[in-house]
Chain A
């Protein structure tokens, strides 16, 4: 049966099944192409409800659950530490664990203007050009929510179910404080029995992710197939063309062939695979003529804070509220503010506290952070935890590195530039000021990188000297290799990356089929 997949010459091989890979694979299969999805992790059982667990250390147990098996080793400002990032490795990638927040970026995230200059001069695709793809992605992912009252660009979203009394009270309080909250855009269908599986695998066709909105509908066309537990080890080919990939499945080496290849292994995985493919015709790695493969790594900085709404109903808050009042202020690029949902927040609070303890050199005490986190969740039980996403900027020195001695390990080097530190202080000030009257309490002390939002490591652009991909997300100089995960972002934007990944994957699928 495996031989049926490995012997075949496919129209397209998609490497990785997260938001990018799942979305483009579905679009291509629906347009009549034969598609093979190759996924490093297991397909798993559809009924699993596993929550992301960064404390589970055994690589086999992690693999079974669809967690990335190995820790991330990060050198941050010269200090090296190792930890499990919120990363998936299984059908649907990280997206099966995500909170399904599919928010559109602001025009200034992509476009340059005199009023809001763009740090890279702007993406090669404008916000206006992306809007039809955002519409399509929102429809594909069944996104529900409300328009941002501050935006000039309405979306066509499903109406979300009524808010809980707690959330309504919070919303009213924010409005009284002069803010403009709206219902966060969520890829949840709210089918019968929906438990809003934010942070865990959804056992129903309800939370829309790379699996439920991508791979599963693709397989339903009959033109796509999935090869799980299969790790692509190198791309092979001539200077300007990929002919096949090598892979390992259960220790058995495989060769997989297709006309075209789509890389969607994530902003850590995709550059690592290109670097691992270095050969005589590709010195320094496949598609690395610019030397930028793996570079310009960005995250978001998470500023977590709690507020206590004045009127509280006895009901758990949801991850239902977003606002953009502080997105861009006083000429500075900040980002969106979102409710985290206290129930979803507990594990994350623990994670951040553990990181904080690790950073302060108190690693041995990291178990203790469970107590303050539990304490916080107890004391803040009637509070709502919000997070501000602060945009990160591209710096060539910030990067993913590939170590052939440890090909499974994710290694990265990152420096918090003074510009980011300064903007962070201003963002916190803006939050304190914007939420005055809501009694905001910051839950983050040091800059907290969101290791679940990596991007930028294969940026797209018009100039092959300063970008890895062309405006169609095709590798410069290679005629049949596209990249559709968050690697292509030239800047990290002030919103969650998922909707932009999905919209771009649909755009790239159209370019690929137009080009024939």
Chain B
């Protein structure tokens, strides 16, 4: 695994849950981390846990201007972006107003778009970078009372694929993929879920893994999810004596 050199990682949603755990884990591995979050106190708590490598920035990722300003304040160019910030309002679709619904979209999709656009401006200059989008399967079978989350996170997965379609062939050194951390014991998750610190170890390893062949891949927890192979594909692979693809693991 070749690691991105001279790291400056941005972790969005670093004031709580998985974002905080990722920030702590990355700082623990010697990475300088800029943590984006809306609440200064929450970021201060992350800073206390992470140590001196953590640099808090109070910024609402849904606010494109605020994100651009925050990137302009960075002392070095971002090499790793972890789009982690998300909101998960539990609300009946009958109670969602267009405003409340779109406010969730503005964070879960808009925040990813705002931060990615800003990070790419630096990454295309060097041709190198790492963008990892924290994702979910919530779009496949939306749960009741989760409409805004399911829709916006589903759109965010499409955004990852669109990034790969536009950039994959031109900038193979900018490695972009999705990571599904699993069900976590966080405010957004479930009480019996996984310790976010455990998930963060996988997430940090994946974020520090700079291999162009990762672009477009999806990892669930510590394991690569291979795209389903159609019958035709399997026949073709057999015909060409291709080895069956093997899912990669985060160790």
Contact = CB atoms under 8 A, between A and B. Distances in A.
B117 interface: no
Interface in A49-101: 49-51, 53, 65
Interface in B224-251: 236, 239-242
A64 to B, nearest CB: 8
Contacts of A463: none
B127 interface: yes
Given A374-B240, A375-B240, A203 B127 contact: yes
B101 interface: no
Chain A, interface residues (CB within 8 Å), range: 10 to 19
B125 interface: yes
B56 interface: no
B241 A65 contact: no
Given A203-B127, A371-B236, A49 B241 contact: no
- For the residues of A in contact with B, the DSSP-based class is loop
B165 to A, nearest CB: 9
Interface string B1-14: 00000000000000
Interface residues of B, number: 15
Contacts of A371: 236, 239-240
A45 B124 contact: yes
Given A65-B169, A65-B170, A49 B127 contact: yes
B173 interface: yes
Nearest to B242: A378
Contact of A50 (B128, B170, B240): B170
Contacts of A360: none
B45 to A, nearest CB: 38
A382 to B, nearest CB: 13
Interface string A240-257: 000000000000000000
A47 B240 contact: no
A366 to B, nearest CB: 16
A48 interface: yes
B169 A47 contact: no
B89 interface: no
B172 to A, nearest CB: 6
B126 A47 contact: yes
Contacts of A203: 127, 173
Most-contacted residue by chain A among B170, B172, B241 (CB, 10 A) = B170
A239 B242 CA distance: 65
Most-contacted residue by chain A among B124, B169, B171 (CB, 10 A) = B169
A375 B239 CA distance: 8
A446 B89 CA distance: 64
Nearest to B174: A47
Interface in B149-190: 169-173
Contacts of B172: 49
Contact of B125 (A47, A374, A375): A47
Contacts of A378: 240-242
B168 to A, nearest CB: 10
A203 B123 CA distance: 13
A47 B239 contact: no
A48 B171 contact: yes
B239 A48 contact: no
A371 B237 CA distance: 10
Contact of A47 (B173, B236, B241, B242): B173
Interface in A187-209: 203
Nearest to A370: B236
Contact of B171 (A47, A51, A374, A375): A47
A125 B138 CA distance: 71
Contact of B169 (A45, A53, A375): A53
Interface in B100-139: 124-128
Nearest to A51: B169
Contacts of B241: 378
B122 to A, nearest CB: 11
B240 A49 contact: no
A50 B236 contact: no
Nearest to A66: B170
Given A371-B239, A378-B241, A50 B125 contact: no
A48 B172 CA distance: 8
Contacts of B126: 47
B42 to A, nearest CB: 36
B118 to A, nearest CB: 16
A456 to B, nearest CB: 33
A209 to B, nearest CB: 17
A45 B125 CA distance: 7
Contacts of A48: 127, 170-171
Given A47-B128, A203-B173, 5 more contacts: A45-B171, A48-B171, A49-B127, A49-B171, A378-B240
9 contacts: A45-B127, A47-B171, A48-B170, A49-B127, A50-B170, A65-B169, A371-B240, A375-B240, A378-B241
Interface of B: 124-128, 169-173, 236, 239-242
